[in-house]
């Protein structure tokens, strides 16, 4: 079995299956992007994966934000600003990529991995107990 660029680890679990499953999809999409990049796939394919990743990230953020609101999560403001920064960054990458197909580099792929990893391990972990206490599974 080949080594994945960003393998899922149990330590990423926030103990809420719905959110873990979504995080797994995001990680899977990032791995797909990495593989396509390595294989020098056609720019349309790479562009499509970036789009898929962006769309899914905003859907996922929506899920988290829905629960923050519903249960009045105290740290939501800081968390939301992280989502916003991510979205803005990715939109920038997308624009650059549309203009220049060789603009997608490891810097971007590494940024996505590091952001996801840190966000899950630090910011998402913070709501783990709170979500569980409110019965979100």
Residues of this chain that bind Fe ion (CB under 5 A): 64, 124
Half-sphere exposure for 111 (CA within 13 Å, toward CB): 13
CB of 19 to Fe ion, least distance (A): 8
CB of 66 to Fe ion, least distance (A): 12
Distance of CA 68 to the CA centre of its chain: 18
Which residue, 81 or 105, is less far from Fe ion as judged by CB? 81
Which residue, 94 or 119, is less far from Fe ion as judged by CB? 119
Taking each helix axis from N to C end, the angle separating 125-133 and 43-70, rounded to the nearest 10 degrees, works out to 50
Q: Which of 127, 124, 130, 128 is nearest to 26 (CA)?
A: 124
CB of 86 to Fe ion, least distance (A): 9
In which residue are the tokens 């562009």 written? 47
Which residue, 67 or 93, is less far from Fe ion as judged by CB? 67
């Amino acid at each position: 079995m080949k080594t994945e660029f960003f393998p899922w680890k149990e330590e990423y679990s926030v103990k809420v299956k719905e959110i873990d499953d979504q995080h797994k999809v995001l990680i899977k999409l990032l791995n797909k992007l990495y593989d396509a990049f390595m294989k020098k796939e056609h720019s349309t394919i790479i562009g499509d994966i970036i789009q898929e990743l962006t769309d899914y990230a905003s859907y996922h953020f929506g899920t988290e934000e829905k629960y923050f609101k519903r249960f009045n999560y105290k740290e939501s403001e800081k968390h939301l600003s992280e989502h916003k920064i991510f979205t803005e960054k990715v939109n920038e990458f997308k624009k650059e990529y549309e203009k220049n197909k060789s603009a997608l580099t490891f810097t971007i792929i590494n940024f996505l991995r590091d952001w996801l990893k840190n966000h899950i391990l630090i910011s998402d972990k913070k709501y783990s107990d709170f979500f569980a206490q409110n019965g979100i599974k």
